[in-house]
Amino acid sequence: MSQLSKLTFATTLIGTAGIVAFMHWAQVAERAAMHAGVVRDVENQRRKAEEMDERRIDFEMQKRLEEEYRKTQSVHDSTTGG
């Protein structure tokens, strides 16, 4: 085998190994990024559910207070023009 053919073979071998290694690294990095996105989405859904629960609790408390005030006070609806 000539020196040029040995050099070409070695260059091709190193280039191929480099490409395979890079593609493996890129695939692992992409999978990690996708997993981080799923984790972030789950956390956002959990946070939104907690916010909805807090709003529901606040609404129920306001409704109870309104009922209690209506028992003790004369309340008129100010949204009607009269």
Residues 6 or more apart in contact with residue 69 via CB below 8 angstroms: 75
**What is the residue-wise DSSP string for 10-39?**
HHHHHHHHHHHHHHHHHHHHHHHHHHHHHH
Question: What digits encode the pLDDT tens for the residues 50-75?
Answer: 999 999 999 999 999 988 888 888 76
Q: Is the pTM of this model over 0.85?
A: no
The count of other CB atoms within 10 Å of the CB of residue 73 is: 7
* pLDDT score at 39: 96
Rg (CA), the chain: 34
How far apart (Å, rounded) are the C-alpha atoms in residues 44 and 36?
A: 12
